[in-house]
Amino acid sequence: MRYFSTRGKAETAGFAAAALAGLAPDGGLFVPEEIPPYPAAVRSSLGTMDYRDIAFETIKPWVSPDIPEAVLEEMVYSAYPFSAPLVEAADRQVLELFHGPTAAFKDFGARFMARSFSYLRRGEDKPLRILVATSGDTGGAVADGFFGVEGISVTVLYPKGRVSPLQERQIAGLGGNVSALAVEGSFDDCQRMVKAALGDAELKKRLELSSANSINVSRLIPQAAYYSAAAGRALAGRTDPGGEASPRTRPRHHGEQGGCRVQKGQAITLVVPSGNFGNLTAGIYAWKMGAPVRRFVAATNINRTVPDYLESGDYRVRPSQATISNAMDVGAPSNFERMAAHLSWTEMKDAILGAAVSDEETRETIRSVHRRAGYFLDPHSSVGWAAADKLLNRGLISGPLGILSTAHPAKFAETVEPLTGPVPVPPSLAKAMERSPQTRSIPAELSALLDSL
């Protein structure tokens, strides 16, 4: 597989070079020359395959020949002792992406990245410094995934005062080879500073640098697997019972009726809570590989840059606004550049519907879903649910409907519990709450970041 920059096709790179560089030399994002289709035998078996086998088949063509198949298989089976169950809740399905160690979907990308980087840099003497900007969950997942990995250190930038107390403990509570910087600004400031540092010629002479944000293509590739797994199961008319971390106060009764349940032979519409749009880009990759997805919904909070673009064709970035779904507070989503490299406006609007949700609507949805179904939503997943309600009410979507649940609600207990009562806490989060964050505050200036490295 070869990759080129979203800003020019003159030079290409293999997976190893693209992943370790993070950004292309011209400041663009790496995208594949072509999106590899699933073999027919894999495509027809997505509904019954083990999750790790789907992940292996999804990732394999993207990393060839830089990661041999035997090595990749070991990486995948090591990275994913957990899966992504598609469970029923009220009248629709929820794709639970929080069964990993930091209880957020970012675990799927970060754990693969840590293993692939360790392999790709085998034999290197100079240590690698990874810079990552986070609006919440990315930082914790990257910190956990790379913690203790020899020869690699991580610096996480997060917007001061705009992440939850638990997220801050996950980002800044490990120590060791992981350090944290609380930036006096927004996520967009953090992202701008990381991009500028990665492009700083003098810094690159001093340090080996890379990124673990979704600007890095190696973060996105493994995320495509859970789209394919969910879409395959839905087409086969199957759902899962959930797992230890599934946040219910009562079980769903067999035979309970709902208007958007999976039905064998019907492709599912997947609703994606979206901020920096890496997750939805991974969904597009899965769809183009052959995953039976009917359509996507890009669900945002009031930072509605992409829903507005889908409606008007006019792409205008804007300053991010703080909301209770803080991981989605992005006014200039980096991965839109990738989406636009693969799809025209007309193609994008055919494949993706957009909807924006207010904080008031987010809270009311958390309350009502728990009251009706005994199921807890975190604020980001609630944005997805509320966006689907809006589109259903307008008659714009029909058939099986799946909401990507991107984080466990216990990570946002201060928002959720006043609306629902106590949220069940998975063991991984209970352990994280015991940590003490170790962080430094810096102004939102590149010079402050450079002085910290």
Catalytic residues: 106
Beta-carbon contacts of 205 under 8 Å, excluding residues fewer than 6 positions away, are none
CA distances from 133 to 59, 97, 300, 353, 447 (A): 24, 21, 19, 27, 16
Quick one: which H or E segment has residue 133? strand 128-133
How far apart are the C-alpha atoms of 314 and 342, rounded to whole Å? 17
Q: At what angle do helices 359-373 and 413-420 cross, to 10 degrees?
A: 50
How far apart are the C-alpha atoms of 69 and 157, rounded to whole Å? 34
The sheet carrying 293-300 orders its strands as: 86-89, 92-96, 401-405, 268-273, 293-300, 352-356
Cα torsion 130, 136, 140, 141 to 10°: value is -80
Residues 437 and 303 sit within 8 Å (Cβ to Cβ): no
Quick one: which H or E segment has residue 131? strand 128-133
Query: The tokens of 439 are what?
Result: 């962080």
Residues 147 and 124 sit within 8 Å (Cβ to Cβ): no
Query: The tokens of 421 are what?
Result: 């009562």
166 alpha-carbon distance from chain centroid: 18
Strands (E) across 278-409 are located at 293-300, 352-356, 401-405
Quick one: which H or E segment has residue 208? strand 208-211
